[in-house]
Each structure stands twice: as structure tokens, then as C-alpha cells.
Amino acid sequence: MPSATSPTFRDPAGSLSLTPEHAIRTIHSGARDAVLRFLESPLRQQLEQRGAMVATTIAESEPLLLHHARVPIVTYPWEWTPGQWLAAAELTLTLCDEALDHGWILKDATPLNILFLGTRPVLVDVLSFEEYTPGNSIWLAYGQYIRTFLLPLLMNRQLRWPLALTLFRRDGYEPAELYEALSWSQRISPSAFFPITLPTWLERRSGGTSSGSAIAAKKEPGLATHLLRRTLAGLRKRTRKALPLSSRSEWSDYTAALTHYTEQESASKAAFVREMLESLRPGRVLDIGANTGEFSALAASLGASVVALERDPAAADRLYQRAMSQRLDILAVQADLARPTPAAGWENSESTSLLARLEDQFDLVLMLAVIHHLLLMEQIPLDAILALLHRLTRRYLLLEWVPASDPMFQSLLRGRDDLYGSLCEENLDRACAGRFTLLRRLPLDNGRVLLLMEKQAEAQAA
């Protein structure tokens, strides 16, 4: 497992540290009784039973320790697709609404409280609940939800700001800064007026000080609950409307627009990949450059738990939607292997790097029609690519080699024939030496070659 992050320190109720098997939460003495009341509540049992919240084991100790099973592969909001953002947002709103029925409410609302198991979002911060005060119609986490959920999605739609930018904005966006980035017509549009324009005007009118209070006069309990539910329903509606208008790009239509594969070549490739998957039966698969998920779906349909890595946001979102509709165990990760997500947060220890989370986690790594992109577009040396693949897989690698004569290779060459024009399969063989042993080789009629390789035993031991 990747090395543990440092214990968290932001929650006044407790801190979290990681071991290879568990996430261990230490509850501070002042919060012990409130936390135990929630853990003994029917709400906690209900959420755990349906998988909406991470399961908790209470350790009889002082201080109080809570043990949670580790989520196999952690992903962060800056690696999610728009569909994943919506799923996490809707889970947050649903949990808050449901909690009201049991006398509880969410005291915070941030994507960082959510992790994904395949396509399913799960709340992992069991300290997010507090007892609800009857008659209070104000949701204290409203502003945080707007900053961290709604505004990133809205700016992704309005100005195409990548959701990955949230890596640098832990507490989301402030309305006033977004107001300056919008055109006048965008400012007065229904989607932006209430979460961005109106708060900015009110702030300016008050001279930059808070224009309101989170403490409101108590209302009749039934009315207060009704108003809270209306607030949550309104946020749900606004969040859905903040999704991108479409999920199309050059790469999202790549599979359907293939011109360098005949129908027979595509069928031969798919048949070979299926045969290898059926023969090897890998439990966990990493699909690098998964595009819209053709081979991720194939692996998942044969019983594998798949992590699908795709750098194109539209293609990655289509992959996520595909996995959702087909109920496949696929975790979509919108990230670039050539520029993987770095460690972030205080002293680079609050969130681990993507590679640290992926290394040595997979029985099989798929890298189909990707290697020439890393070579030509990113100028990553072939030896370095194979060294990374060696660290990512525990045993097998299924690689598609694209020769220099291939039309796609030529389109990416861009006059650099001196550097890459003479690359051949022998160069690949040399890069694999000491790392992988070739088990199967299938040349396709278009000149591409599918190679099944096994991580060498001596390299594994080393």
C-alpha cells in the first residue's frame, strides 16, 4: 500500500491516520459523547447498511478510536468527472435530508468528505453529523456547499474551467472572484445570479463585511424543517443545471471514429484482450488511456475491479456514465499519466500523489494504443515508460505497440523523424529486458502488435 499520509488536523472533533489495512480516527475528548450518540443511532446503521457511509468499528479505548476499512484506491475531487461531482453532491444533499428525519444534520458539505467505490460515492467522514436543533431553518454548511460543489461545476460549464483546478482551492471559490471572470450576460443569467452575482453585490454594499448572520430566529419546528428541505431541493436543482452542456471532444468520439482499424482488426484486438482476461482472471485491473471504456467494461464484465485512467474530461465522463448504466465495477480517474496528480496540502502530506496510490496495486495493467502518445506528445523515454509500468503492475502487462509506420504515429511525429522515426519493436524489447518476460504476441494486419508480458520474478523480488 502507499505510504500513509500524516494525521489530519482540521476537524476539531478528531484526526484521521492511515495504516495499510485501516483508516483510524482518533476522537478528541470533548467530542466523544456526541460522536458515540451518532454511532449508536439508527441513522448510522441505516447509512452503513446501504453503503452510503463507510462502516465503523468502535475500539474500546481512551482516547476513543474508530476503525474504518481502507477504500482500495482513493481519488480526489480534482480527479473526478462532472458525473462523479454530481453523484457526490447528490449523496451529500440526500444524507442531509435523510438525517433530518432522525434528528441530525450535516454540519459540513465538501467533496473531500466523499470517496468512490467503483461508481458509488461513499461518505467517509462520520464526524460530519451533528444533532439538529428543532426550529432552526438555516443549514450552516450551505455556504461551503456553494463554494466547493456548485461553483466549481458552474465555472466548468460557464467558462470551461477544469474541475482539476480545485486541487488549488481546498475551500472552493468565492463568489466575488468569479464575478470578475464572468461577462455581464453571464452574471445576470439565472444559473449565476443567485450563487455569484447577488452575494457579490451584497458584499460590496456592506463594504466587504458579512451582510447576514447564520443565526436566525427560531421557527415552528415543522416549518423550519420544511424550509431546510426546500433549501436542499433548490441546491439539488441548481447543481444538476450546472453540469456541462455536453460531454464531447475529439477523444470522446475516438473509438467510434477509428480509421486505422478495419472491422476485422478491431474484432481481432477485442478477441485477444478477452482471451487474455478470461485466461488470467485478474482481480484488479488498471486501464491506462481508457478513453470511453471499451476494454475497462470488458474487464469489469469478466469480474475484475477496474481503475480506468483517462486524461480527456469528456471521454472520462462518458466512461463513468457507461459504468453507471451497466453497473460495472469501474473507478473512473480523470488524470494524465504523463502529468500525474501530485501530493498536495500542508507539507505535501494531506493528499498523496496519484502514482503513490496506484503503484503495485494491480494484477494486470492494460496499455492499449497509448505508448506512442507518451513517446511523441510527451517525449517520455521508452525505458522510463516501461520502468513505471513495472512499478504499477503486480504481475501482468498487456501492451499495444504502435510501429513508426502507423498513420497515428506519423500524425504525431511532426517532423521529428531523427528522434523517433526509427523506433521499432526491438527498442521495446530492450526496454523490457530485466523487467518483463513476453508470454504472448499477436500482430494485427495494420502493423500494430499486442503483447502480453509478465513481470519478471527476480525483478519482483528486488
pLDDT tens digit string along 190-203? 999 999 999 999 99
d(CA 147, CA 106) in angstroms, rounded, equals 16
Sign of the four-CA dihedral 311, 394, 22, 343: negative
Q: Identify the pLDDT of residue 246.
A: 67
Q: Identify the pLDDT of residue 461.
A: 44
Of 241, 263, 297, which residue sits at a domain end? 241
∠ CA(109), CA(111), CA(116), 5° rounding?
125
Q: What is the CATH number of the domain that holds 385?
A: 3.40.50.150
User: Among 10-14, 108-112, 171-175, where is mean pLDDT lowest?
Assistant: 10-14
Q: What's the pLDDT band for 1 if we cut at 50, 70, 90?
A: very low
- 310-355 tens-digit pLDDT: 999 999 999 999 999 999 999 999 999 999 999 999 889 889 999 9
Q: Are residues 60 and 91 in the same domain?
A: no
pLDDT more than 70, % of the chain: 92
Total-model pTM: 0.92
User: Among 1-10, 67-76, 116-125, 142-151, where is mean pLDDT lowest?
Assistant: 1-10
The answer on pLDDT for 251 being more than 70 is: no
The answer on pLDDT for 253 being more than 60 is: no
When pLDDT is averaged across residues 223-252 and rounded to a whole number, the result is 86
Q: Are residues 84 and 231 in the same domain?
A: yes
110: left (phi over 0), alpha (psi -120 to 50) or beta: beta
Q: Are residues 113 and 134 in the same domain?
A: yes
Tell me, yes or no, whether 99 lies in a domain.
yes
Cell readout for 178 is 468569479
Q: Are residues 296 and 316 in the same domain?
A: yes
d(CA 341, CA 335) in angstroms, rounded, equals 7
Tell me, yes or no, whether 353 lies in a domain.
yes
d(CA 124, CA 11) in angstroms, rounded, equals 13
Tell me, yes or no, whether 437 lies in a domain.
yes
Q: Are residues 65 and 157 in the same domain?
A: no
Q: What's the pLDDT band for 3 if we cut at 50, 70, 90?
A: very low
The answer on pLDDT for 281 being more than 70 is: yes
When pLDDT is averaged across residues 14-21 and rounded to a whole number, the result is 87
Q: Are residues 268 and 340 in the same domain?
A: yes
Beta bridge partners of 331: 307
Which residues, 6+ apart, have CB-to-CB distance to 107 below 8 Å? Answer: 128, 129, 130, 140, 141
State the Cα torsion 221-223-225-227 to the nearest 10°. Answer: -150
Of 45, 69, 93, which residue sits at a domain end? 69
Do 147 and 172 meet the contact criterion of CB atoms below 8 Å apart?
A: yes
Q: Are residues 235 and 273 in the same domain?
A: no
Helix then strand then coil, % of the chain, to nearest 5: 45, 20, 35
The answer on pLDDT for 94 being more than 60 is: yes
For residue 427, give Cα distances in angstroms to 381, 387, 403, 404, 423. Answer: 11, 14, 11, 12, 6
Q: Identify the pLDDT of residue 416.
A: 82
Tell me, yes or no, whether 23 lies in a domain.
yes
d(CA 444, CA 446) in angstroms, rounded, equals 5
Element (H, E) at 37: helix 32-39
Cell readout for 239 is 447543481
Residue 201, classed as helix, strand or coil, is: helix
Q: Is the model more confident about 403 or about 208?
A: 403
Tell me, yes or no, whether 8 lies in a domain.
no
- 105-163 tens-digit pLDDT: 999 999 999 999 999 999 999 999 999 999 999 999 999 999 999 999 999 999 999 99
d(CA 310, CA 314) in angstroms, rounded, equals 9
Domain span holding position 39: 14-69
Element (H, E) at 307: strand 305-310
- 258-275 tens-digit pLDDT: 556 789 999 999 999 999
d(CA 296, CA 288) in angstroms, rounded, equals 9
Do 338 and 380 meet the contact criterion of CB atoms below 8 Å apart?
A: yes
Q: Are residues 388 and 289 in the same domain?
A: yes
Q: Are residues 267 and 236 in the same domain?
A: no
Tell me, yes or no, whether 94 lies in a domain.
yes
Q: Are residues 65 and 82 in the same domain?
A: no
Strand order in the sheet with 57-59: 14-18, 22-27, 64-69, 57-59
Q: What's the pLDDT band for 413 if we cut at 50, 70, 90?
A: confident
Task: Look at the chain and report how many structural domains it folds into.
Answer: 3
Q: What's the pLDDT band for 435 if we cut at 50, 70, 90?
A: very high
Q: Are residues 227 and 337 in the same domain?
A: no
Tell me, yes or no, whether 2 lies in a domain.
no
Of 36, 53, 69, which residue sits at a domain end? 69
Tell me, yes or no, whether 367 lies in a domain.
yes
Q: Identify the pLDDT of residue 462.
A: 44
Mean confidence (pLDDT) of the chain: 91
Q: Are residues 260 and 377 in the same domain?
A: yes
- DSSP category for residue 217: -
Beta bridge partners of 364: 285, 396
- DSSP category for residue 146: I
